[in-house]
Amino acid sequence: MHSLVFSTLLSGAAALSYAGNKVPFEADPPQIAANFPDVDQELYSPAFINPEGVAPGFANGTSAPNSQQTLEQFLWTLASRNEWMTYHNPVFTSEEGRSIPYVVLSASKSLLQTSAVGNTTNKVRVWLQGGVHGNEPAGEEGLLALLGKMDAEPEWALGLLEKLDIIVLPRYNPDGSAYFQRLLATSFDPNRDHTKMASQQTMEVKQLNLKFNAHVHLDCHEYGARRGLTYENKTYKSSTHVTDPPW
């Protein structure tokens, strides 16, 4: 009995061990990189608007391209000049105390003014999140580019918001982004913790998500070329919460 209790405690301690940058950075060789040219369109995310401002650690895989300050300033600036966007910095934080900012996009003033979230309009509610894995910056950067495009093309943005209410949480895992690591600071994989909810951070974000009660969830990741991808649409699945029916 004592040995069982001891082994249980050890396994719990292992699960809560402090995470590190465990995935080595591997730059694509020139012959591989040549197959992925720059896109022929303007991208409005911070790293593309101001390449000189990219965090130095991004070049060797030790930090995300955007610092926490850059992320927050970018979101706040866009929200300050668009009445259909509001910036929110929730009371909960990451495991190391970093903020987890998000923006609400809506043409319905009631949704923007009464609270950060709600389900009082008749529009389709969409939840967009990125940066779940801190060493996969493309999801975050893509969402920031989307927000930048909406800011640059307000008529297009308002056309979307005639039918949609949107929450964009671009950096789900700010601690992972700071160290360019996949995991939360306590070594939980946030992608798996959606169902286990072992981390307080996961539970806090989940509460926000459930309060918004979105019809559509989009979780933006990167795909590593370490295994084959079959031709069927196996990259799509229903929301990974134990109470969700398999639509």
- Short-list 173, 174, 169, CA closest to 214: 169
Give me the residue spans of the domains in the chain.
Answer: 69-221
Per-residue pLDDT at 11: 43
Cα(61)–Cα(153) distance, rounded to whole angstroms? 33
11-to-148, 184, 191, 194, 197 alpha-carbon distances in Å: 44, 17, 20, 20, 17
Residue 216 has φ and ψ, to the nearest 5°, of -130, 130
Written as tens digits, the pLDDT of the chain (247 aa) is 445 444 443 444 444 456 665 666 777 889 988 988 888 889 999 999 999 999 998 888 888 999 999 999 999 999 999 999 999 999 999 999 999 999 999 998 766 544 555 556 789 999 999 999 999 999 999 999 999 999 999 999 999 999 999 999 999 999 999 989 899 998 899 988 888 899 999 999 999 999 999 999 999 998 766 655 555 555 554 444 444 444 3
Helices (H), 67-173: 68-80, 109-114, 137-152, 154-161
- Which residues are 219's β-sheet partners? 129
Q: Are 101 and 75 in contact (CB under 8 A)?
A: yes
Q: Are 223 and 105 in contact (CB under 8 A)?
A: no
CATH placement of domain 69-221: 3.40.630.10
Q: Indicate the residue type of 48.
A: F
Per-residue pLDDT at 102: 98
- Which residues are 1's β-sheet partners? none
Q: Are 193 and 95 in contact (CB under 8 A)?
A: no
- Short-list 141, 136, 129, CA closest to 224: 136
Cα(225)–Cα(141) distance, rounded to whole angstroms? 20
- Short-list 189, 77, 92, 204, CA closest to 144: 77
Give the DSSP per-residue string, 142-172. HHHHHHHHHHH-HHHHHHHHTTEEEEEE--S
Per-residue pLDDT at 245: 44
Residue 143 has φ and ψ, to the nearest 5°, of -70, -40
> How would you class 4 by CB atoms within 10 Å of its CB: exposed for 0-12, middle for 13-18, buried for 19 or more?
exposed
In the block, tokens 């000049």 appear at 81
